[in-house]
Amino acid sequence: FMIIIPAIDIKDGRCVRLRQGRMDDETIFSEDPVAVAARWVDEGAKRIHLVDLDGALDGAPRNFDIVKEIAANHPNIPIQIGGGIRDEDTVQNYLNAGVQYVIIGTRAITAPHVVKDLCLEFPGHIIVGLDAKDGKVAVDGWSKLSHHDVIDMAQHFESDGVASIVFTDISRDGMMQGVNVESTVELAASIRIPVIASGGVTDRGDIERLCATDEEGIVGIVVGRALYEGTIDLAEAQSIANCQQAG
């Protein structure tokens, strides 16, 4: 069934949200990401999505201690982390810290062989994050559009052995404009591994639309700004997902 996954984006040690990935367009929601994680777990989160924004910029982890503390506090909740993960050592360090999944983003596109190596080394723990606009993959914090087709890349990573794909429509992320259901369903239908939807989830209508699709491959929805601005209630969203999937 489909789970609602709260997103915690960490920048300078704080919990923030960006609009369309722009580092200069941030809203600070909390000075304490560890407390934010505890809040979402208290409200029933079954998985947490963390992003090290400073790490994404620098190409190496910058908020590792915060991530480690969140994982240590919630050993029974799977944590997935993205941002600045470029090599085996970083993956190993995160897994040692109690993180369940690491998300490879830009590096998956610029050096695809790395994904295959990581999947062999850490089977079941590697997720690829595909950020797309108009069916093409974006890289480097969304500053560049590549010529790669999203579905081609997803099929390639599926054969490499990734656990799932986090798919973000970047034209909508952080803009509170609604999720791109059509693109997400199209991607999920083209691969056998699970897809986690992300980007633009604004209100319960988005949850309902995603859950109403017959595409069984969509297993989760990452929700960020909408949770922090209160346009989605986590417990309510999860119960909508449960009911629709059961029905």
| Catalytically active residues, by annotation | 9, 131
Cα maximum dimension of the chain:
45
- Cα angle, residue 216 at apex, residues 150 and 222 outer, rounded to 5°: 65
From residue 38, alpha-carbon distances to 44, 46, 47 in Å are 10, 12, 12
d(CA 106, CA 84): 9
d(CA 39, CA 60): 27
From residue 39, alpha-carbon distances to 32, 60, 202 in Å are 11, 27, 20
The answer to whether 17 and 27 have CB atoms below 8 angstroms apart is yes
- Cα angle, residue 106 at apex, residues 100 and 112 outer, rounded to 5°: 85
Nearest to 211 by CA among 3, 5, 47: 3
Phi, psi values for residue 20, rounded to 5°:
50, 35
Axis-axis angle for helices 181-190, 204-212 (nearest 10): 30
Around Cβ 111, how many Cβ atoms within 10 Å? 12
